[in-house]
Amino acid sequence: MDKNDKNYKRVLIGKRIAKELKDGDYVNLGIGLPTEVANHIHGDIRVVIQSENGILGVGPSPVPGDEDEDLVNAGGGLITGAPGCAYLDSCMSFAIVRGGHLDMTVLGALQVDQKGNLANWWIPGKMVPGMGGAMDLVSGAKQVVVAMEHCDKEGKSKILKECNLPLTAKEKVTLIVTDMAVLKVENGKLRLLEVADGYSVDDVKKATEAEMIIEGEVPTFGV
């Protein structure tokens, strides 16, 4: 499959993030790309996915033709309920988010920088529906994983030395997974953990403005 294909990138990123999940984890998946993670959770583990509109126990994406239009996530996307799922009001749902009960949240981003700062809600001068639950999620979750394409539509790096868009949160991101690489935030720099199939370490260097720590032979990941 073409590495520039949108669906390939989505599956690549979602599948790689799913490998970070452990048995018993409680996880929130953000709108859009992060929801792909639910489709790749290994069958040997039980992960409880929370959606802040009031669902605890989100399942994988519905099979075409078997959708329930009344069952949606926080972004209005159609979902399924895993066995034993529960429906909550907003107060209870955000008590889970803000109370430190989530092991991980996975969000998209406009920009991330080497200090773990996140900008994912507003480009000045453009219309914005609001921040949603992003600020609560990154503050309450034990791990904050960013799922996004490495560069913007103009080919510019979205992984910077310092974000220049309004921040969602400061120094909260722990891991970044893109269509090119897996990067860990470490002491104000980014450690290159893995490179996506079809790319080289040099490709990642050219596409990344932030400073990176690169040691030894870097393994690859793919679909």
User: Which residues are part of the catalytic machinery?
Assistant: 52
- Beta bridge partners, 86, equal 56
**Beta-sheet strands, E only, within the chain:** 26-29, 48-51, 55-58, 81-87, 104-107, 111-113, 118-119, 143-147, 159-160, 175-177, 181-186, 189-196, 212-213, 220-221
How buried is residue 129: exposed, middle or buried, by Cβ count under 10 Å (0-12/13-18/19+)? exposed
